[in-house]
Amino acid sequence: MSSATGGLTIDGEFYGAIRADKVAKGVRFLSRRTDLTLSQLAGHMEANPGNLEIFDAPGNLSVRTQDDITLENAGGKVKVDNRRGNVNVRFSVAPKEDIEIDNASAGITLSLPESSSFEIVADCHSGDIDSEFQSDSLKLTPGTKSGDSHLEGKYGSGRGPKIILKTSYGPISIHKTS
């Protein structure tokens, strides 16, 4: 589907790729494995078995799935609940809304512009946390005997969104976008 002025709803089990481009009133995709709500899609979305990619979603985004997820340039609140798939979220401009990513049995990679301001709480069970963002108010507690890592604090000069990252049996990596 391409360039819809209304919304797009997909309900049921599908095999093969599902693609959508530029859906003004948002996307709703519901299946046994995936529950996705986008309030607006200015770019491209593609769902394949085991993989979900979303580019340029200026509104709020909520997804629950068991796939690898790639999300670039979300503009609203981001809520991801995932199992057994890596989550890669990248912002080319500093996020203004809250970000919550909960993953199990896989890693989380979050890339933000260096100019971002944010408050973060990140917890990793049986995995490491690696952050390119450094600040006196960011406190990293590296893996203990149990393998748990924790990062908490604020970064930047302004008031930014709250970022909550949780995963188990996979790392959390926080990078500066180039």
Domain ranges within the chain, ordered by starting residue = 77-176
39 pLDDT more than 60: yes
31 pLDDT more than 80: yes
Class of residue 177 by CB neighbours under 10 A (exposed 0-12, middle 13-18, buried 19+): middle
**More confident: 47 or 1:** 47
- The average pLDDT across 87-112 equals 98
What global pTM score does this model have?
A: 0.93
pLDDT of residue 15: 81
3-class SS of residue 14: coil
Separation in Å, CA 87 to CA 6, 100, 147, 155: 29, 12, 20, 22
Q: Please, what is the average pLDDT of the chain?
A: 93
Could you give the strand order of the β-sheet that contains 162-168, starting from the edge strand earlier in sequence? 8-11, 27-30, 35-38, 61-65, 78-83, 99-104, 162-168, 118-125, 149-155, 139-141
Backbone phi and psi for residue 176, each to the nearest 5 degrees, phi listed first: -90, 130
pLDDT of residue 3: 58
**What contacts 178, CB < 8 A, 6 or more positions away?**
none
| Bridging pattern class, strands 129-131 and 27-30 | unpaired
Separation in Å, CA 149 to CA 13, 123, 143: 37, 6, 4
Closest CA to 153 of 165, 142, 140, 166: 140
- The average pLDDT across 5-22 equals 85
129 pLDDT more than 60: yes
Model confidence at 145, in pLDDT bands (50, 70, 90)?
low
143 pLDDT more than 80: no
